[in-house]
Amino acid sequence: MSLQSGPHLILASQSRYRAALLQAAGLTFTALPAHIDEAAIKRQAQAEAWGADATALRLATLKAAKIAPQAPDALVIGCDQLLVCGANWFDKPRDVAEARQHLQHLRGQTHTLVTAVICQYHGQIVWQHVAKPQLTMRNFSDAWLETYLAEEADHLTNTVGAYRLEGPGLQLFADVQGEHSAIIGLPLLPLFAYLRDAGVLGD
């Protein structure tokens, strides 16, 4: 789909990590937080067995839809990420104690970061994508975990996995598969491919 020349880009997110990705890549955009009741939507999703892909896309769509009326001629980017390990979905930990519980559960396991991104333009979803990076945590010791939690205490509640791959969180892992930006929360390569096809970015 070709868009009108040079629509303004809006990132419907309060995540500083996602904004930093777009800034580092040289895009001009506005970041606006989109407040929705994510917990209620996730409860409905699990009760009705939507699946992680559909849930992440739904959350991304609702975030974009919340912002779109404020700028009807803008291209709005909505995104969301779920951490899935087996049958369990994980939210951002509320405190250090919950981060410890999450990491103890994830230790020695492979989890998937179901990362959805959609673009909305003039009230329509014009593009969507789901990336699924897979990360395997090593069997770190309890002593190492306590050291990690102390070092990262100020950052643990900011990410769904209680880790930052650009920081000490990388030491949690034995293997990481997937685009780095998708792991952080916004799959840039497929997004940029769409923006080039749509004429928003140069080819």
Amino acid at 111: H
Residue 90 has φ and ψ, to the nearest 5°, of: -115, 135
Tokens of 197: 């096809």
Residue 191, phi then psi, degrees to nearest 5: -65, -45
Cα-based distances in Å from 83 to 3, 126, 132, 183, 200: 33, 25, 10, 10, 31
Place of tokens 């969507």: 128
Cα–Cα distance for residue pair 173/163, rounded to 1 Å = 10
Which of 80, 91, 197, 203 is catalytic? The answer is 80
- Contact between 45 and 74 (Cβ < 8 Å): no
Q: Let me know if 175 is a catalytic residue.
A: no
Residues tagged active-site: 80
